[in-house]
Chains A and B, each alone.
Chain A
Amino acid sequence: MSYIEVKNLNKNFIAKNGSVEAIKDLNLSIEKRDIFGVIGLSGAGKSTFVRCLNLLEKPTSGEILIDGVDIQSLKGKDLRFKRQKIGMIFQNFNLLEQRSVLANVCFPMEIQHVPASERKEKALELLRRVGLEDKAKAYPSQLSGGQKQRVAIARVLASDPDIILCDEATSALDPQTTQTILALLKDIHDTSDITVVIITHEMKVISQICSKVAVLDKGVLKETGSVDEVFNNPTSAATKRLLLIKNTEEQSEEIEENAEKAGEEEEINA
């Protein structure tokens, strides 16, 4: 049995003009230590899917087993304990604005009643891990987007999670910062037993760090498998469309780069 098993997952939202099916009969297996990417355009249901994994969103029907435990059977304290082992990082970082960086990283440990002295020591160690030890006393408003996401990563690691869920974690960041955040996530994965689930609309994110990928389109799982398999031999129209977007993006980036180079040359010549 896989580490995360999703069986016949359905999620409907009640909207003004009737019910919206965000996820339709989704079946998915994620193995331990996978870096599993879920890709789709906006509205594909990928965010809803990942939020079902820690029950931020309650599935309409279906089963979610994590390490053999049906998470929907967990209530109150048991659910909170389980959530402590499933870290989540967000597109908008969601740091506590009124707390220093250090206190933000301490927060999950406060929830878990870790003694104060231990909390501080571990938080400082984690800030070193993400390269922000000099920002311990700073406040989130004083940090750049990339730095905020590093704090969020340190905060997630403070609970010693088994799983890290990334909900569009790099979508608010520029390409260079995205690279460094992904490299950090990869490094964390490679030096631990953590299973990572990454939700994104960017192919580049998947190809940079994921081992496996699932393509979602309008709430339906179109295909899943190793990244090479899926991207080299796409069988669904949704995947092909995503690949097309990726290629156009790369081309436009090339054009931009060339334009920049040309501009620089002009400056030199002038």
Chain B
Amino acid sequence: MHDLLIALQAFYEEYGVLLLEGIRDTLYMTLLSTFFGYIIGLPMGIVLTLTDKEGISPNRIIYTILDVIINITRSIPFLILLILLVPVTKALVGKSYGSTATIVPLTVAAAPLIARMVESSLKEVNKGVIEAATSMGASKFRIIINVLLGEAKTSLVVGTTIVLGTVLGYSAMAGVVGGGGLGDIAIRYGYYRFETGITLITVIFIVAIVQILQGLGMLVAKKSDHRRT
């Protein structure tokens, strides 16, 4: 027992700070990229919903342009996107490695995913309610805010948890090219230095973070849902 404690303490002294920093960097990348992703993806999702042929401002040209852009970005595997974006990342952040730099490709990968999530959430909103708001003389802006976003909020929150999980997974992949965070640690220690224990521990941490984010998301979603009694 005593030996185990000593071993644990030795492990902590050697890797503790590293792992804590890894968790911090992973959260930093995931949350910030998702945030920036929503700044781009939320308006895209709204525009997709409005300009759809069943939407309140049908516009085939705008819809098709957005649709194609999203499909292209969504079909590029993340690792390749990351490499393709190196010049852009360098221009924006000044370097192409480390957690801050990874936010750039993560955001680019998250935005189209978010746009699709938002689109599918908003399209679930009952057409009759949109019509009722129109009949009350509501402006399109008000319909977007109060009816589309207001009625879809539960589904939007669920979408956010899915996005967070996906972005977290991507952030770990970025470890291959020195992206920072837990994925980076797993690659450097676990893969290059054959310290399988470290890889396992980073995996445990990643799973735990996903679980917590998922749990929190579902809790918020449930609390915000008034559609069922």
Contact = CB atoms under 8 A, between A and B. Distances in A.
Interface of A: 54, 56, 79-84, 86-88, 90, 92, 94-100, 107-108, 110-112, 139-142, 159, 165
Given A90-B128, A96-B129, A139-B226, A83 B135 contact: yes
Contacts of A140: 226
Contacts of A83: 134-137
A56 B134 contact: yes
A176 B226 CA distance: 28
A172 B208 CA distance: 48
B129 A94 contact: yes
A96 B147 contact: yes
Contacts of B133: 107, 111
B131 A81 contact: no
Nearest to A84: B137
Interface stretch (B77-85, B91-99, B150-158, B160-168): B150-158
Contact of B229 (A81, A84, A111, A142): A142
Say whether chain B's binding surface is mostly helix, strand, loop, or mixed: helix
Given A94-B129, A110-B146, A141-B227, A56 B135 contact: yes
A140 B132 CA distance: 15
B45 to A, nearest CB: 18
Given A111-B136, A141-B226, 7 more contacts: A56-B135, A79-B137, A86-B135, A95-B132, A96-B150, A97-B227, A110-B142
Contacts of A82: 137
Contacts of B134: 56, 83
B139 interface: yes
B139 A80 contact: yes
Contacts of A92: 128
Contact of A98 (B128, B137, B138, B151): B151
Interface string B99-131: 000000000000000000000000000101101
B228 interface: yes
Interface of B: 126, 128-129, 131-139, 142, 146-147, 150-151, 153-154, 224-229
A141 B129 contact: no
18 contacts: A83-B137, A84-B137, A86-B135, A88-B135, A90-B128, A94-B132, A96-B147, A97-B126, A97-B129, A98-B154, A98-B227, A99-B150, A108-B136, A108-B137, A110-B146, A141-B229, A159-B136, A159-B137
Given A90-B128, A141-B228, A142-B229, A98 B135 contact: no
Contacts of B138: 80, 111
B154 A94 contact: no
A39 to B, nearest CB: 22
Nearest to B129: A94
A140 B139 CA distance: 24
B153 A98 contact: yes
**Residue of A95, A97, A140 with most partner-chain B CB within 10 A:** A97
Given A82-B137, A97-B151, A98-B151, A90 B226 contact: no
Contacts of B132: 88, 90, 94-95
A86 B137 CA distance: 9
Contacts of B126: 94, 97
A82 B86 CA distance: 55
B142 A111 contact: yes
Contacts of A84: 136-137
B151 A54 contact: no
Contacts of B147: 96
A107 B147 CA distance: 10
Interface centre among A56, A83, A94, A140 (most CB of B within 10 A): A94
A90 B150 CA distance: 20
Given A80-B138, A84-B137, A97-B227, A56 B131 contact: yes
